[in-house]
Amino acid sequence: MIMTKREIKKMFAVSCENKGDYIRIIVEGEGTLENSMQIHQEIITLLGDTDKKLALIDISRLVGRLSMADSIRRAEAIPLEIRGKMVRTAMLEDHENMVFAYKEEMAMVNRGIKIKIFFDSEKAIEWLLQDEHARKSHAVETKSR
């Protein structure tokens, strides 16, 4: 079955939230061989468009994972200016994908990408905001909710 771009796009959604000191990118839907590079490109575009140096990428609601070779190709496709710009990137994964997640983290770290995989959003945010200023700002944001 050949899918059109329109059909592929309906299979996933990528959204972005400004959280003060960091951005949260949320990917939902189905990740397939046909749309994985499109998802990847949308994430890269969002990272490139922000002035933030910290990002939380939540793929815990994305169904389906690709092979290790595809992870390596995606890591290598991240532009150098994005790699240099991002101080820290936390990726939120689902526990069911634990083995894959750690392999993907290793592939990205080995290519110079500052990323760490988490299965708990609070731990991911805590790691992102290890900088004292960032922690204070997050505490104020949390209290104002």
Please, what are the domains in the chain?
Answer: 5-143 (3.30.750.24)
Q: Which of 103, 99, 97, 95 is nearest to 120 (CA)?
A: 95
pLDDT at res. 34: 78
pLDDT at res. 111: 83
Mean pLDDT by 10 residues, the chain (145 residues): 50 93 94 83 92 94 78 76 82 89 87 90 94 56 58
pLDDT at res. 80: 77
pLDDT at res. 63: 87
DSSP label at 51?
-
pTM of the model: 0.79
pLDDT at res. 1: 45
